[in-house]
A and B are shown apart, each in its own frame.
Chain A
Amino acid sequence: EDQVTQSPEALRLQEGESSSLNCSYTVSGLRGLFWYRQDPGKGPEFLFTLYSAGEEKEKERLKATLTKKESFLHITAPKPEDSATYLCAVDGTYKYIFGTGTRLKVLA
């Protein structure tokens, strides 16, 4: 059964304190792994797509990496505006499975 597990469920960081979010997945035939950011009451906003193990992508303070079993979202020197829920999703065969997300709070 396809499955996505994210950890931790919640994370509090001081501004400037770097950390990583984890996304473990099991899927038969990965077409892509996605990271989204979701602010309260809004729809998810796309961050990255990763297609194969070893791939890395960066955007401002965020860097996503992918192995055969998990993905990491590294946040370097976060700012309060990075506070949000970060969602991981996999596309097996056009069916999407989302994790339950990591709620990130960055304190000034």
Chain B
Amino acid sequence: EAQVTQNPRYLITVTGKKLTVTCSQNMNHEYMSWYRQDPGLGLRQIYYSMNVEVTDKGDVPEGYKVSRKEKRNFPLILESPSPNQTSLYFCASSPLGDSSYEQYFGPGTRLTVT
């Protein structure tokens, strides 16, 4: 089954404790992206990657890191989480091209930083 998987699905952590949220896709997509979703603010793009070793900032990259060492994986790293990073996080992937390149979203990771 074609899918985007994220782990963990739920995470409660404390301020300053480094964490990684994993994202993996099995569709051989070139493009991958991370979003956060907050009430009243909608989905905001954190980082995106157009291929292995190619990453770029979205609208809200502060406090986050990403890496793309393999085509299928795109982990999101919070090196020193703060309470304002409490949010619902989504990973997404899509092919690159001029047609039919809609994004497929993972199930989400709900992060709480206390």
The segment from A13-21, A36-44, A60-68, A69-77 found at the interface with B is A36-44
CB neighbours (8 Å) of B105 from chain A are 36, 43-45
Chain A interface residue count, Cβ-Cβ cutoff 8 angstroms: 21
Contact B108 A94 (CB under 8 A): no
Contact A96 B103 (CB under 8 A): yes
- Identify which of B33, B59, B90 contacts A43 (C-beta below 8 A): B90
Q: Counting CB contacts under 8 A, is B77 at the interface? A: no
The segment from B13-21, B36-44, B67-75 found at the interface with A is B36-44
Q: For chain B, what secondary structure do more than half of its interface residues adopt (helix, strand, loop), or is it mixed?
A: strand
Provide the bound-state CA to CA distance between A12 and B51, in Å. 42
- Given A96-B45, A98-B43, 11 more pairs with CB closer than 8 A: A32-B101, A34-B103, A36-B105, A43-B4, A43-B105, A87-B42, A89-B43, A94-B50, A94-B56, A95-B56, A101-B42
Contact B102 A41 (CB under 8 A): no
Provide the bound-state CA to CA distance between A32 and B31, in Å. 15
Q: For window 42-94 of chain A, which residues contact chain B by CB distance below 8 Å? A: 42-46, 49, 51, 87, 89, 94
Contact A95 B45 (CB under 8 A): yes
Chain B interface residue count, Cβ-Cβ cutoff 8 angstroms: 27
B-contact 0/1 string along A18-33, CB 8 Å cutoff: 0000000000000010
Contact A87 B43 (CB under 8 A): yes
Provide the bound-state CA to CA distance between A44 and B92, in Å. 9
Q: Counting CB contacts under 8 A, is B100 at the interface? A: yes
Q: Counting CB contacts under 8 A, is B95 at the interface? A: no
Closest beta carbon of chain A to B68's beta carbon, Å: 14
Provide the bound-state CA to CA distance between A86 and B42, in Å. 11
Provide the bound-state CA to CA distance between A97 and B35, in Å. 10
Contact B104 A95 (CB under 8 A): no
Output the nearest chain A residue to B38 by Cβ-Cβ distance. A100
Provide the bound-state CA to CA distance between A102 and B53, in Å. 36
Output the nearest chain A residue to B107 by Cβ-Cβ distance. A43
Contact status of A94 and B31, CB under 8 A, knowing A42-B108, A45-B105: yes
